[in-house]
Amino acid sequence: MLRAANLRFRYGKDRPWVLDGVDVEVAPGEVVGLHGPSGAGKSTLGRLLAGLLSPTSGTVEPTAARGPQPVQMVLQHPDQAMNPRWRISEVLAEADPRAEPDPALVSPTWLDRYPHELSGGELQRVNLARALLARPAYLVADEITASLDALTQARVWRLLVERARAGGIGVLAISHDLPLLEAVADRVVAFADLSPTGPAAPR
C-alpha cells in the first residue's frame, strides 16, 4: 500500500503550511484520481509520495530507498525531464540498460531520435515507458496529459491504466480535469478532503 499519514509540509520555516495533516492511500493496482484547485498542494503531495521532498512531519510508505525508487513520478512536461542531448534509446537505457521498452508505448523508429524530434504525445509515452522500466510499485502521474489533445490524452491514459493493471502498479493520477479522472480512475478524491481538519489555511 502507498500510504501517507498525517503529512505536514511547508517549503520553509517562515512559509505557510501547504499540507496540514494529509492522509491518503493507494492500493496495489488501484488508480486513484486526485483533483483540486490550482495551488492547493497536489504536486507537493505527489513529490512527497515519490520521495522527491521530505515531509516536515508525518509518514510516507514505502520510503524512498537507495537504487530503484518504489514510487516513480511522471511529470506534465516530459521534455523537461529528459536530457535534450540524449537519443531516446539513451533516455530509456538510463532506467534499465538491458530492458526492451514496451512496444505498445515506444515505436522502434523513435529510438534514434532526440526528444525534440518527437511530438508531445509520443514523448509522454517515452516518459511513461521510462518510468515503467524502473519497475515501480507505484506511479504518481502529475497532469501528464494536460498539454495534449483529447484523443492523445485518452490514448496515453489507456496505455498507462492497462500497464498499471497488468503490473499491479498503483497510480495516483493528479489533474484539474475531473471528467478525465472520473473516466480513468477507480475512485476520485478531492484534495481538500484528504485532511481531517480541512485544507491548510489560505495563503
Ligand X SMILES: Nc1ncnc2c1ncn2[C@@H]1O[C@H](COP(=O)(O)OP(=O)(O)OP(=O)(O)O)[C@@H](O)[C@H]1O
Q: How far is the CB of 93 from ligand X (least distance, A)?
A: 30
Q: How far is the CB of 81 from ligand X (least distance, A)?
A: 16
Matching residue, cell 489555511: 201
CB-based contact 128:159 (threshold 8 Å): yes
Q: How far is the CB of 151 from ligand X (least distance, A)?
A: 23
Instruction: Determine which residue in the list 66, 98, 116, 203 makes contact with ligand X, applying CB under 6 A.
Output: 203
Which cell numbers hold the place of 192?
A: 481538500
Is residue 54 within the footprint of ligand X (CB under 6 A)?
Answer: no
Q: Mind giving me the DSSP string for 57-104?
A: EEEEESPP-SSS-SEEEE-S-GGGGS-TTS-HHHHHHHH-SSPPPPTT
Q: How far is the CB of 142 from ligand X (least distance, A)?
A: 7
* CA distance linking residue 72 with residue 163, whole number of Å: 14
Contacts of 44 (CB under 8 A, 6+ apart): 9, 18, 19, 53
Residues facing residue 189 across a β-bridge: 34
Q: How far is the CB of 143 from ligand X (least distance, A)?
A: 7
Residue 154, phi then psi, degrees to nearest 5: -60, -40
* Candidates 26-34, 41-49, 64-72, 128-136; binding stretch for ligand X (CB under 6 A): 41-49
Q: Which is nearer to ligand X, 58 or 167 (CB)?
A: 58
Contacts of 131 (CB under 8 A, 6+ apart): 72, 73, 74, 95, 139
Q: How far is the CB of 43 from ligand X (least distance, A)?
A: 3
Instruction: Determine which residue in the list 2, 18, 133, 140 makes contact with ligand X, applying CB under 6 A.
Output: 18
Is residue 136 within the footprint of ligand X (CB under 6 A)?
Answer: no
Contact pattern for ligand X over residues 165 through 194, marking x by CB under 6 A: -----------x------------------
What spatial distance separates the first Cα and last Cα of the chain, rounded to whole Å?
A: 32
Instruction: Determine which residue in the list 40, 50, 128, 169 makes contact with ligand X, applying CB under 6 A.
Output: 40
Residues that bind ligand X (rule: CB under 6 A) add up to a total of: 12
Q: Which is nearer to ligand X, 40 or 128 (CB)?
A: 40
Element (H, E) at 89: helix 88-95
List residues near ligand X by CB under 6 A: 11, 18, 36, 38-44, 176, 203
